């Protein structure tokens, strides 16, 4: 057995300081290889530049719907439906099934991650028991409990997208996997391509600059995750001036077992189960007067998001009602208040 060599959260904070490098090492080459391959099918979509300031939702507000653990607890889609909200609904790929099964078609879906397995958010035609047995991620994760019954959920996603997929616009990152891109093309979704930034495009030898030279698609700072990508696209591309966030937790509820966290297997492989208390970080949210815990990746996403919000040309409202995203440039409030305020101000 290894010796616990750090106090609670201390090792996690050391990982946070290295997340830029670790993330690029983990997915950078895969994403760039995907982007090179996807050039052959980019003619089957448009540039995300064509959405700039365009009619995606009414008015100058948007709601980002991500798939954090607050979603099953808060169920924001019910309040959105009840309010008659007409602004833009921008969904992560992971929240698309949640919206569709609740009878709401997102105005825009965003996907950014390069891993092959993420085709599951769109339904995987060849999914079988053998593949399910190889990976427990979908059964373990706490984002959408419907995935506990993987084959049933997969069939439902495929059925919903067969019906509604051609109506949905998707901001499809050029780094997406072949399986995901093929599935999106097969569904007939309306594709708008964009490049996520892999590094500083102004630096010599920049991978981002080389990617732009190769395909000409706009480059967007994605913040390292799909929820932040939705936020950036909502204000920087759609030019919405009031952007509310739901399901952007960047954390877990205190009662959530480590086993159900997203990066559990990765952390076990790196530091061993006996050192997990040192890897997970406890954060008290003063706006909610509640404590949550997070892992190094999510904490890094939080810090990066705060930097993005500080530079954003919009008002940012965190209506997640959970999680660890708070700070000087974030207005924490219930979703019901945002919906009421937008209706009263005519900003919807």
- Structure token digits, residue 91: 């969904």
Cα separation, 256 vs 252, whole angstroms: 6
**Residue 3 Cα to chain centre, angstroms:** 35
For residues 312 and 329, the answer to whether their CB atoms sit within 8 Å is yes
Rounded to 10 deg, the angle between the 29-38 and 207-215 helix axes is 10
CA distance 337 to 319: 9
* Distance in angstroms (rounded) separating the CA atoms of residues 161 and 73: 25
pLDDT of res. 142: 65
Packed helices 76-83 and 335-345: angle between N→C axes, nearest 10 degrees: 20
SS3 content of the chain, % helix, strand, coil (to 5): 50, 15, 35
Written in H, E and C, the secondary structure of 251-306 is CECCCCCHHHCCCHHHHHHHHCHHHHHHHCEEEEECCCCEEEEECHHHHHHHHHHH
pTM: 0.94
Cα(115)–Cα(125) distance, integer angstroms: 17
Per-residue pLDDT of the chain (348 residues), as tens digits, is: 334 445 667 888 988 888 777 777 777 789 999 999 999 999 999 999 999 978 899 999 999 999 999 999 999 999 999 999 999 999 999 999 999 999 999 999 999 999 989 999 999 999 998 888 887 777 777 666 677 789 999 999 999 999 999 999 999 999 999 999 999 999 999 999 999 999 999 999 999 999 999 999 999 999 999 999 999 999 999 999 999 999 999 999 999 999 999 889 989 998 899 999 999 999 999 999 999 999 999 999 999 999 999 999 999 999 999 999 999 999 999 999 999 999 888 655
Cα–chain-centroid distance for residue 306? 15
């Amino acid at each position: 057995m290894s010796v616990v060599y750090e106090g609670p959260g201390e090792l996690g904070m050391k990982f946070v300081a290295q997340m830029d490098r670790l993330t690029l090492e983990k997915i950078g080459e895969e994403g760039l290889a995907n982007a090179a391959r996807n050039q052959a099918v980019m003619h089957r979509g448009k540039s995300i530049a064509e959405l700039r300031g365009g009619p995606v939702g009414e008015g100058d507000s948007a709601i980002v719907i991500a798939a954090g653990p607050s979603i099953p607890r808060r169920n924001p889609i019910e309040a959105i439906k009840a309010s008659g909200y007409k602004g833009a609904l921008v969904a992560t790929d992971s929240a698309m099934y949640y919206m569709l099964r609740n009878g709401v078609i997102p105005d825009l879906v965003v996907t950014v991650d390069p891993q092959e397995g993420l085709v599951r958010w769109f339904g995987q035609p060849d999914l079988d028991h053998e593949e399910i047995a190889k990976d427990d991620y979908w059964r373990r994760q706490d984002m959408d409990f419907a995935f506990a019954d993987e084959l049933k959920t997969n069939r439902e996603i495929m059925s919903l997208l067969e019906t509604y997929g051609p109506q949905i616009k998707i901001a499809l990152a050029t780094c997406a996997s072949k399986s995901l891109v093929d599935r999106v093309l097969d569904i007939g979704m309306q594709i708008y391509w964009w490049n996520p930034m892999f590094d500083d495009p102004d630096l010599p030898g920049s991978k981002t600059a080389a990617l732009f030279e190769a395909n000409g698609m706009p480059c967007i700072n994605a913040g390292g995750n799909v929820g932040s990508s939705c936020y950036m696209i909502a204000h920087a591309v759609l030019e919405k001036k009031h952007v509310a966030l739901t399901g952007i937790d960047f954390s877990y509820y205190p009662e959530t077992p480590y086993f159900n966290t997203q990066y559990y297997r990765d952390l076990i492989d790196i530091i061993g189960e006996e050192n997990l208390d040192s890897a997970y970080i406890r954060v008290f949210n003063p706006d909610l007067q509640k404590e949550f815990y997070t892992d190094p990746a999510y904490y890094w996403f939080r810090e990066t998001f705060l930097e993005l919000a500080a530079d954003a040309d919009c008002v940012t409202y965190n209506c997640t009602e959970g999680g660890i995203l708070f700070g000087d440039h974030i207005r924490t409030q219930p979703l019901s208040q945002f919906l009421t305020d937008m209706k009263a101000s005519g900003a919807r």
